[in-house]
Chains A and B, each alone.
Chain A
Amino acid sequence: EAQVTQNPRYLITVTGKKLTVTCSQNMNHEYMSWYRQDPGLGLRQIYYSMNVEVTDKGDVPEGYKVSRKEKRNFPLILESPSPNQTSLYFCASSLNSLGTGNNYGYTFGSGTRLTVV
């Protein structure tokens, strides 16, 4: 089954304790992206990657890191989490612009609900 898999689904952590949220896709997509969802703000892009070893900042990158060493994986790293990073996080992947048509568009993971206390 074609999907984007995030882990963990739920995470409670303490301020300053480094954590990693994993994301993996099995669709051979080139584009991958991380979003955070907060009430009244919709989804905001944190980081994106256009291909292996190519990453760039989205709209709200402060406090986050990413890496893209393999095409299928795009982990999100919080080196020193703070309470304002409490949010619902989504990983997503998409074919590149050459793949327009029925298969075009971002596919989202099920989300990771992070609480930082």
Chain B
Amino acid sequence: AQSVTQLDSQVPVFEEAPVELRCNYSSSVSVYLFWYVQYPNQGLQLLLKYLSGSTLVESINGFEAEFNKSQTSFHLRKPSVHISDTAEYFCAVTNRSNDYKLSFGAGTTVTVRA
């Protein structure tokens, strides 16, 4: 079985400052990794994913995440945040042999202030 730990439940940040959301996973087999974003009163949207290949993956709105197998981490970063990035962010993992089961972390709430 796999599991996900998001190390920060709340991250306040000023507009145009950088942000990093930490995610560590546990699995005995190879994994796929995801970050989802949930804007206030909305459903979840896929932000980015790591399936294979380059360990650095990017989203269209400036976020990036790096898969680090030795540290079992998949931290999410953005060099300069906007007010519109205020949301809850979820890290998720599935193992490659049983990929119908997506396991989520508890979530990190990012609040961007002017």
Contact = CB atoms under 8 A, between A and B. Distances in A.
Interface of A: 31, 33, 35, 40-45, 48, 50, 58, 90, 92, 94, 96-97, 100-101, 104-111
A42 B105 contact: yes
A97 B102 CA distance: 12
Interface stretch (B13-21, B38-46, B71-79): B38-46
A50 B100 contact: yes
Chain B interface: which size bin? 20 to 34
Given A33-B100, A43-B90, 17 more contacts: A35-B104, A42-B105, A43-B104, A44-B104, A45-B101, A45-B102, A45-B103, A48-B100, A50-B100, A94-B100, A96-B99, A104-B32, A104-B49, A105-B46, A108-B45, A110-B43, A111-B42
Interface string B5-46: 010010000000000000000000000101010000011111
Contacts of A100: 51-52
B12 to A, nearest CB: 18
A105 B49 contact: yes
Most buried by B among A33, A41, A97, A101: A97
A1 B107 CA distance: 28
6 contacts: A42-B90, A43-B104, A45-B103, A58-B101, A106-B46, A111-B43
Contacts of B49: 104-105
Contacts of A40: 9, 106
B96 interface: yes
Contacts of A50: 100
Contacts of A31: 100
Q: Give the 7 A-B CB pairs with smallest separation, nearest first.
A: A42-B104, A43-B104, A42-B106, A108-B44, A110-B43, A108-B43, A31-B100
A43 B38 CA distance: 12
Contact of B51 (A48, A104, A107): A104
Interface string B74-105: 00000000000000001010001001111111
A41 B96 contact: no
Given A33-B100, A110-B42, A42 B107 contact: yes
Nearest to B96: A97
